[in-house]
Amino acid sequence: MCTNFKVPTAEDGTVVVGRSLDFPLFMSFSLCATPRGIPRVALGPAGVPTKTWTTRHGVVGLAVTGIDAAIMDGMNTAGLSAHLLYMVGGFFVAPEARGDGTDVSQLELASYLLSTCATIEEVRKAVAEINIWGWDAGLPFTPPVHVLVHDREDSAAIEFRPDGVVVVDNPTGVGTNSPYLEWHLLNLNNYTGFSAENRPGQHVRTGDGMNIKSLGVGSGLHGLPGDYTSASRFVRAIALTTLAETPTDSRDAEMLALHVLNTFDVPPGIIKEPGPDHSLVNEISYAHTIANLTDLRYAYRALDDPTVYVVDLNETDFTGDTSRFHAFADRGEFMTISI
């Protein structure tokens, strides 16, 4: 359960993407940096040939701890971001592995695309040239996902449908979870008329009638869904990114992304889902991430740490022959000051 969006492009041209990573409590992540120019072999069944390639771009992102291939969220030095989001309910149908040297699993797709592609157009070509198969990664099920990608100009969703893997244009720059993107776009027609201004008052007839009006501000958003379903979060993200004032510059765009992300925060206890051994586990916002595709900055804030941490890709060393990991700062304190 995650939410991904582009904020309005800043007046100075800065493009910023926000994403909430909402997962069951038992998952863990590390910050990962993958160098340029290193050979890679896609993960796969033992003894079965998979895709090989050499990384073209430096990559920074959040990966399942210790597995640089399993980047769930990240960006590269070309200004492309990729985001792996859950896709339950029968909306993930992945091909089988072929064993012919073209196989890249769905869990490694974000890492592969970020290390080889600079634009959405290159993503389209890359997806057409590989076989994206469904890997269970040792779990009792094959994780169902889709991948959302953004460059400075466009956005797209990579979906796993019964008739094959498709790359779908995303004119909104917003993505959540099931069902497929085209359903979410159609559903937006049920929410026309949202506004930053109050709805006008009106005269109602009850006996002699009376005049009624809003008793405060915000009535222009009356009816905006506030629950955490994927459909409701999609609509809410559209409304917020549509009505928000255009940022002035890079800093303003990053701050706007953070404010929008605040509205999708999932504190422990309010959503529970089935876990191991018939237990119930908390669905939580592990992190909020902000990818500045123009200034090449990747920021994150963890559930239990109010500090926002930033990696400047312009200052990051992308040489070397292997990925580097940095501990995911997931616990911090408020800053104490004296007056």
The whole-number pLDDT of residue 214 equals 81
Residues of the chain with pLDDT > 90: what percent?
A: 65
DSSP calls for 185-218: HHHGGGGTT--SSPPPPEEE-STT-EEE--SSS-
Six-digit token pair at 87? Answer: 């896709």
Is residue 293 in some structural domain?
yes
Asked if pLDDT for residue 66 goes beyond 80, the answer is no
- 190 against 329, higher pLDDT: 190
How remote is the C-alpha of 138 from its chain's centroid?
24
Is residue 61 in some structural domain?
yes
The whole-number pLDDT of residue 25 equals 66
Pairing of strands 103-105, 3-6: unpaired
Backbone angles phi, psi at 124, to 5 degrees: -60, -45
Is residue 241 in some structural domain?
no
How much is the average pLDDT of 256-280?
A: 88
How far is residue 196's CA from residue 183's CA, in Å, rounded to a whole number? 25
The whole-number pLDDT of residue 52 equals 94
The whole-number pLDDT of residue 35 equals 96
Asked if pLDDT for residue 45 goes beyond 80, the answer is no
- 74 against 304, higher pLDDT: 74
The whole-number pLDDT of residue 67 equals 83
How much is the average pLDDT of 121-146?
A: 90
Asked if pLDDT for residue 269 goes beyond 70, the answer is yes
How much is the average pLDDT of 265-276?
A: 85
Asked if pLDDT for residue 263 goes beyond 90, the answer is yes
**Domain total for the chain?**
1
Residue 168: beta bridge partners?
157
Across 26-30, 73-77, 98-102, 281-285, least confident range: 26-30
User: pLDDT per residue over 162-208, tens digit each?
Assistant: 999 999 999 999 999 999 999 999 999 999 988 888 888 888 887 78
Is residue 226 in some structural domain?
no
How remote is the C-alpha of 174 from its chain's centroid?
9
Is residue 200 in some structural domain?
no
Host domain of residue 266: 3-181+249-326
The whole-number pLDDT of residue 261 equals 97
* pTM of the complete model beyond 0.75: yes
Torsion of CA 313, 314, 317, 319, to 10 degrees: 100
The whole-number pLDDT of residue 64 equals 84
- 6 against 137, higher pLDDT: 6
Helix (H) or strand (E) holding 274: strand 272-274
Torsion of CA 226, 230, 234, 236, to 10 degrees: 10
Residue 284: beta bridge partners?
23
Q: What is the CATH number of the domain that holds 257?
A: 3.60.60.10
User: What integer best gives the mean pLDDT of the chain?
Assistant: 91
How far is residue 295's CA from residue 16's CA, in Å, rounded to a whole number? 9
Pairing of strands 71-76, 59-64: antiparallel
Is residue 121 in some structural domain?
yes
The whole-number pLDDT of residue 26 equals 62
Is residue 277 in some structural domain?
yes
Is residue 215 in some structural domain?
no
Asked if pLDDT for residue 258 goes beyond 80, the answer is yes
